[in-house]
Amino acid sequence: MLFRSFVTGAAGFIGSNLVDRLLADGASVTGWDNFSTGQERFLEGALKHPRFRLVRGDNLDLPALTAAMKGADFVFHLAANADIKDGWQHPRKDLEQNTIATFNVLEAMRANGVKRIAFSSTGSVYGEALVTPDRPTPETDAFPIQTSLYGASKTAGEGLLAAYAEGGQIDEAYVFRFVSILGARYTHGHVFDFYKQLIEHPDRLRVLGDGTQRKSYLYVQDCLDAMLHVTRAHTAREAKHHTQVYNLGTPEFVQVNDSIGHICAALGLKPKLEYTGGNRGWIGDNPFIFLDTKKIQATGWKPKLTIAQGIVQTLRWLEANRWVYEARH
């Protein structure tokens, strides 16, 4: 069990769900967040829990981060700038909030003698991978040219973890390369954006690209199941270089047009679709993301929800929590 966990990005989408899960499983949790995108409302339940402590702080403040981490025995580093689409509007943010922040987390761990870490990476590290429906991208694929600042910054973070592990500073390093995650407390991404548009204009929907982009998705509770399954099994302890890398996703993918179909069917709408054109939605978008998850599934984990089920569950949460649209702006 993870009894004294430190969670960066604790008020975010995945982080707040992880906090709740860890508390339910008996852990003591310190949550750390700068609230640049996180929502304190996501932590309403945790804040009432005697084994939860919230510390407001930024990963760029190394002394404060080091002090807050004191007493932890496991770090879940989830805090990041995940705004791929608008990365070139603020390129320094990816460097600071993803790469330098990860370095600071590792240095705070070193100062406190914390030897175990789980890092939320991304399938974007593969750039525009050579992928087909019959050959999803495995963890062993070489990285091609990076297509986004986000992917580049996460690649750098992975490199730092591996170096600290190889240098004897970490006993167990877990790198999780996520596909896009869906579920309760979801506050950015295509379901969020499409539903926002349809609230305002139920008769039309603007779609970035031509709708044929193919993506894989994973429900947040399935994501947490996978992370906790392998970290509690200590799979990195005896691994080469004390580092385990896992793709996290489902063994399926959908087109953006398929997602639109699931969303509109659930809402009972038939909007006119207005495509911007091309097979990419923005600079850095990949036309096809599909990760090979055989490695994580070989440990005994399998996702419970299909992509279609995850999309509808996410939509239902957004319908019941429209306040998140006001909170984001």
- Residues serving a catalytic function are 150
| Nearest residue to 312 via CA among 208, 214, 186, 141 | 186
- CA–CA distances in Å: residue 251 to residues 94, 158, 179, 194, 214: 29, 24, 11, 24, 13
Tokens of 57: 């702080």
Integer Cα distance of 117 and 106 in angstroms = 9
Residues in CB range of 205: below 8 A, 6 or more apart: 194, 197, 198, 260, 264, 271, 272, 273, 274
Dihedral sign, CA of 293, 295, 296, 301? positive
Contact 133, 290 (CB under 8 A): yes
The 10 Å Cβ neighbour count of residue 29 is 25
Integer Cα distance of 195 and 267 in angstroms = 9
- CA–CA distances in Å: residue 33 to residues 40, 220, 272: 9, 19, 40
